[in-house]
Amino acid sequence: MTQPPKKRYGWKNGSICFLPERDWAYLAIPKAGCTSAHGSIARHIGRKITTHANQWRGGLMLKFGVPRVPEDVWLFTLVRHPIRRAISAWYNKTRGEAAPWKVKIWKRHFPGFKVGMTFARWVDLVVQIPHDQAEAHFRPQYTFIEEFNPVWGKLEDKTFWEDTVRPRTGLGPLPRFNRSRSPRIRRFNRRTIGKLVDYYAQDFEMLGYPKP
C-alpha cells in the first residue's frame, strides 16, 4: 500500500471569498459549483474574482483555508453528490487543461498519479489518503463543514440558492458555468464506485445524499 504523506499537501483547504464591506462570505469547496458561485459574486460586485492565494484584488479577498472570517459574517457553501464530485475531479484534473500542473502536485506525494490515468487507478490511490491529508479536490466535504461551520446547501437543490443565499446576500441567480462533462456514475464498475462510497461514507451520512 502506498504510504500517505506525513504532512498536508497541495491545495488542501479550499478558499474563502470575503469582501470586508459585506457581512457574508463564500467557502468554495472544489468541484461543488465553485465556478458558478464565483461567477454570481463577480456579477454582483462588478469585478473579476482572483484565484491567486493570499492576495487582494480590487478589495476582494480570496485566501486558501488560512483566514477566519469575523464571527458576525454569514459564511455559506455548496456541496455536491460525493461520487459525482469525485468523478468530476478525476475527469477534469487528469484530462482537462489543468491536468499537467494538478497531476504534478499530486505526484509529489503519490507517484502513481498520471495525466490520462484510468478512473479505477485514480480511485485506488485516493482511497488510501487519510481524510485530513487529502487534497481539496477530493477531500471529503464533511471535513470542510466541520472545520469552517458554514451554512450549506446542495448544488443540485436550487431552492437553497434561491431561498437562502439570495435573500441573505443580494446575489443574483446561480449561473451554470463550467458545466461538468464527466461521465455518469453508471459508466463505471460497481466495485470501483463501492470503494468511493466507503471512502465518502461520512459525506453521505452528513449531507444526506443517496448511495448509488
Could you read off the pLDDT of 96-144 as tens digits, one per residue?
666 777 777 777 767 788 888 899 999 999 999 999 888 888 999 999 9
How many domains in the chain? 1
**What pLDDT is recorded for position 170?**
94
Q: Under a CB-based contact definition with an 8 Å cutoff, are residues 139 and 12 in contact?
A: yes
Q: In this structure, is residue 33 part of a structural domain?
A: yes
pLDDT band at 9 (very low <50, low <70, confident <90, very high): very low
Helix (H) or strand (E) holding 143: helix 141-148
Q: Under a CB-based contact definition with an 8 Å cutoff, are residues 75 and 148 in contact?
A: yes
Q: In this structure, is residue 6 part of a structural domain?
A: no
Q: In this structure, is residue 90 part of a structural domain?
A: yes
Mean pLDDT of 183-196: 89
Which cell numbers in the block locate residue 33?
A: 459549483
Q: In this structure, is residue 109 part of a structural domain?
A: yes
pLDDT band at 3 (very low <50, low <70, confident <90, very high): very low
Q: In this structure, is residue 187 part of a structural domain?
A: yes
pLDDT tens-digit readout, 156-167: 999 999 999 999
Query: Rounded distance, CA 201 to CA 142, Å?
Result: 10
Q: In this structure, is residue 128 part of a structural domain?
A: yes
- The structure's pTM equals 0.83
Residue range(s) defining the domain that contains residue 192: 15-207
Query: Three-class SS of residue 106?
Result: helix
What are residue 62's DSSP bridge partners?
Answer: 17, 55
Q: In this structure, is residue 176 part of a structural domain?
A: yes
Q: In this structure, is residue 70 part of a structural domain?
A: yes
